[in-house]
Amino acid sequence: MANMDAMLSQRVRSVDASGIRRVFDLAASLEAPINLSIGQPDFDAMPEVLQRAHEAIDAGRSGYTQTQGIPELRESIRERHGISGSEDLDVFVTAGVSGGLLLSYMTLLDPGDEILMPDPFFCIYRDLALMINAQPAYYDIYPDFSLSAEKIEAKITPKTKAIIVNSPGNPTGYAVAQDELDAVIELARRRNLFLIYDEIYDSFVYDAPHAACLGSYENTILLNGFSKWAGVPGWRVGYVIAPKELIPHMLKLQQYTLVCANSVSQWALVKASSVDFTPYLEEYRKKRDFLVDNLKEHYSFVTPGGAFYLFAEAPGGSGQAFVERAIAENLLVVPGHVFSQRDTHFRISFSAPMEALERGVEILQRLSR
Ligand code: PMP
């Protein structure tokens, strides 16, 4: 295929998915692994949501929706975020937070422009930049994963266009404090940069309220969606809350790329926000506490305040080597290099049945020695 490779775009050749593929290949060799590598909820769609999906199919909701999403869902999102009466902000529905990221990047970044993201980062942040010939730039959040406006400011160049903040974070589980976020909002305002806030895990916070950004700074793009808390990652529904002025530009790109989010899913999710998430949260808190209590004597890590990940230092210093040892014991976790320029850590997902966590913890305790 050497010939064909040379005929492909620079864009596709700039993206290297081999790190993740190596993990998947190793995983495929296992029969019934203890899987603590999963990046999605371990519960199915909420029953109320499933019921409405059936109704939507039966009612023939099969056509395209408006580019910006159905009015009923947009209104319920406005209510969830308290922006129903806002003169400045509005929402549109897109194909997951991934869709929101793609449209944000394409709207803000020209080739060569820089976008500042944390390291470690959710891997799409980096590769999406490469795919549109923009430049990923990193602010280091090791070792405690907290957000430092000073560290970010030191990385700003004349080419910087936007800063991404992700809280609670993937892969760190770190939930930023309101004052940390406020300092970065202030920085973005002072340096005239866009702020992209990915809060897809906002319902999964265990110790303190989720840090909010809406209404603080006009050039903010908020990305959120239903994949995680409503248990529907495969239904592809997310949304963007942004200045009213910016939305038509993003919608122009949506119209010619993603077209609209899945129609049946949109109808199914109209009332999702009225479902009580507390029982789900309590389950996840138990899993978080179980993992932290059983690993704290054995590994070095920051207790995750949110999401469903714990990002621990790899004994021996190499995430890849450690994960290979774990896989030899039938345990799947993810090496840090998938999310970072460094390979010093590994990610454990606690979005798994308690029984898998119990077996996983036992192996992890053994591997730490
Ligand atoms: N942002 C973060 C931080 C994520 O972890 C994920 C999913 N793993 C996404 C965005 C993408 O979410 P979606 O399924 O809504 O596209």
| pLDDT for residue 112 | 96
For residue 12, pLDDT over 80 is answered with yes
Distances (CA, A) of 5 to 20, 126, 341: 20, 22, 25
Atom of ligand 1 nearest to the CA of 226: 15
Confidence bin at 312 (pLDDT 50/70/90): very high
* Amino acid type, 11: R
Residue 316 C-alpha to ligand 1 middle, in angstroms? 30
The response to whether residue 122 sits with its C-beta less than 6 Å from ligand 1 reads: yes
pLDDT of the residue at 48:
92
Share of the chain above pLDDT 90, in %: 90
Cα 180 from Cα 347, distance rounded (Å): 24
Assess whether the C-beta atom of 103 lies below 6 angstroms from ligand 1. no
- The terminus-to-terminus CA distance of the chain in angstroms comes to 45
Instruction: Give the model's confidence band at 369: pLDDT under 50 very low, under 70 low, under 90 confident, else very high.
Output: confident
Q: Is the peptide bond before 233 cis (omega within 30 degrees of 0)?
A: no
Instruction: Write down the pLDDT at residue 106.
Output: 98
Residue 1 pLDDT exceeds 60 = no
Which of 170, 174, 235, 237 to mutate for ligand 1's pocket (most ligand atoms within 8 Å of CB)? 170
Our answer on whether the CB atom of 198 is closer than 6 Å to any ligand 1 atom is yes
54 CA from centroid of ligand 1 (Å): 25
pLDDT band at 17 (very low <50, low <70, confident <90, very high): confident
Q: What is the pLDDT of residues 108-119, one digit of tens each?
A: 999 999 999 999
Given this model, what pLDDT does residue 23 score?
Answer: 74
172 or 27, higher pLDDT: 172
What pLDDT is recorded for position 26?
A: 76
Ligand 1 site, residue 114, Cβ cutoff 6 A = no
Ligand 1 close to Cβ of residue 67 (< 6 A): no
Domains of the chain: 4-45+276-367 (3.90.1150.10), 63-274 (3.40.640.10)
123 Cα: distance to centroid of ligand 1 (angstroms): 10
Q: Tell me the DSSP string of 330-356.
A: TEE-EEGGGGSS--SEEEEE--S-HHH
345-349 and 194-198 as β-strands: parallel, antiparallel, unpaired?
Answer: unpaired
Question: Do 59 and 270 touch, CB atoms closer than 8 A?
Answer: no
* Amino acid present at 111: P
- What is the average per-residue pLDDT within 230-239? 97
pLDDT tens digits for range 41-78: 999 998 999 999 999 999 999 999 999 999 999 999 99
Question: Is the CB–ligand 1 distance for residue 339 below 6 Å?
Answer: no
Q: Give nearest CA residue, ligand 1 atom 10.
A: 97
- How many angstroms separate the alpha carbon of residue 195 from the centre of ligand 1? 17
pLDDT at 2 over 80: no
Name the least confident of 3-7, 132-136, 300-304.
3-7
Q: pLDDT band at 154, cuts 50/70/90?
A: very high
Mutate to test the pocket of ligand 1, among 40, 77, 93, 124 (most ligand atoms within 8 A of CB): 124
pLDDT for 76: 97
Residue 219 banded pLDDT, cuts 50, 70, 90: very high
Question: pLDDT of 249-259, one tens digit each?
Answer: 999 999 999 99
Decide whether any atom of ligand 1 lies within 6 Å of the 97 Cβ. Answer: yes
| Ligand 1 geometric centre to CA of 3 (Å) | 35
| Best probe residue, ligand 1, of 77, 94, 97 (max atoms within 8 Å of C-beta) | 97
Single-letter code of the amino acid located at 268: A
Residue 38 Cβ < 6 Å to ligand 1: no
| 295 touches 310 (CB < 8 A) | yes
Q: What is the pLDDT of residue 14?
A: 85
For ligand 1, atom 8, the nearest C-alpha belongs to 39
pLDDT mean over 146-164: 98
